[in-house]
Amino acid sequence: MTEGENHNSVLVRVRDLTVHFPAKKKNLFGERSTVHAVDGVSFDIRKGTSFGLVGESGSGKTTTALAMIRLIPVTSGRMELDGVDVTRMEGEDLRRLRRRMQVIFQDPYSSLNPRMRAGDIVREPMDLMKVGDPAQRSEKVGELFRNVGLRPEQRVLFPHQFSGGQRQRIGVARALASWPDLIVCDEPVSALDMAIQAQILNLLRTLQRDFNLTYLFISHDLGVIQYMCDEIAVMYLGQIVEQADRVSLFKQPLHPYTQALFSAVPSADPEVNKARRRLKVQGDPPSPIDPPPGCRFAPRCYLAKDLCPTENPVRREVTSSHFVSCHLFSRGDR
């Protein structure tokens, strides 16, 4: 096995990634506020693995991913792909790098051009990025169709002639067309029926095994994250509050927000549901516009202490693969 195929080798390094947007003024003469969409996010993704970002809507999951692949501006911090600082690339260099980073979008109905045939949709990235020999691209499209469970003769059909699950398979084939190093899976099954979700998730796992793919997986569904991801980061209001390998996180969630998320997931076993203590989070998340100092979860936390609203918790390594940002741990109170 070469170094590039070693699952211990880091493909992606994200350090202190920050994305701020100017908010609309409340009036003509008012001061402009800042939306803190992502605030100082850091993590690594190892080659051939799946890294999950999970959290409520508005927690900054998708914004983090879009900033990493330069689809939205980065305020500060950096993202390295195989040692190359993507955040500082511009122009032709950035365009060439895009073939190494692709996205599987959430909605298979709106992410495909309804006027293009399925084969042309899959071939388009190869044409735009000049992948391979033009004479061989049609053959490659047929191979990709087979890889995702579609028949090569379906290339001539239009998106409306496919089911939702088949459309998402086309989206997967399109993402694979440039043989990227990193594939961002942005809620790739949330718009599909449960049975179809399982099929697409199994397809993604099979493709990862066969082609040594690396995924950044974004979802609010803990079941999907548990099934797909090797390592998981829990986001709340633009920050990572807990990060661990899959087994550690689901066996012993440490942050009160993570515990509350997990307690809300129903089990197929009624006895488990009966015995489980439901941890209710009070109120709504605070506004990301000029957030106050301190822990951002403090106003909703059932374990909040006096210092939580004023002092930002530090990131603590609880074990070699488990990190948490919480005052309950940062000062050894547990």
Segment 297-308, tens digit of pLDDT? 998 888 888 899
Residue pLDDT, tens place only, 21-74: 988 777 666 677 889 999 999 999 999 999 999 998 889 999 999 999 999 999
The tally of CA atoms less than 13 A away on the side-chain side of residue 181 is 19
Total domain count, the chain: 1
Within 10 angstroms of residue 161's Cβ, the number of other Cβ atoms is 12
Residue pLDDT, tens place only, 76-87: 999 999 999 999
- Residue closest to 199 by CA, chosen among 160, 154, 174, 168: 168
Whether 285 contacts 237, CB under 8 Å = yes
pLDDT class of 320 with cuts at 50, 70, 90: confident
**Exposed / middle / buried, residue 280 (Cβ in 10 Å: 0-12, 13-18, 19+):** exposed
**Exposed / middle / buried, residue 244 (Cβ in 10 Å: 0-12, 13-18, 19+):** buried
Task: Check residue 58 and give its pLDDT.
Answer: 87
Whether 304 contacts 311, CB under 8 Å = no
The DSSP annotation for 171-206 comes to HHHHHHTT--SEEEEESTTTTS-HHHHHHHHHHHHH
Instruction: Tell me: pLDDT of 146 over 70.
Output: yes
Residues 6+ apart with CB under 8 A from 137: 123, 126, 127, 131
Task: Check residue 4 and give its pLDDT.
Answer: 39
pLDDT class of 3 with cuts at 50, 70, 90: very low
Whether 211 contacts 235, CB under 8 Å = no
Task: Check residue 7 and give its pLDDT.
Answer: 52
Strands 50-54 and 231-236: parallel
CATH of the domain at 64: 3.40.50.300
Full residue range of the structural domain in which residue 64 is found:
3-330
pLDDT class of 224 with cuts at 50, 70, 90: very high
pLDDT class of 231 with cuts at 50, 70, 90: very high
Beta partners for residue 36, in sequence order: 20
What residue type is assigned to position 123 of the chain?
R
Place of tokens 């970002």: 53
Task: Check residue 212 and give its pLDDT.
Answer: 94
pTM score of the predicted model: 0.89
Task: Check residue 174 and give its pLDDT.
Answer: 96
Segment 190-217 shows an average pLDDT of: 94
Indicate the range of 215-224, 263-272, 314-323 predicted with least confidence: 263-272
Segment 103-132 shows an average pLDDT of: 92
Share above pLDDT 70 across residues of the chain, in percent, rounded to a whole number:
90
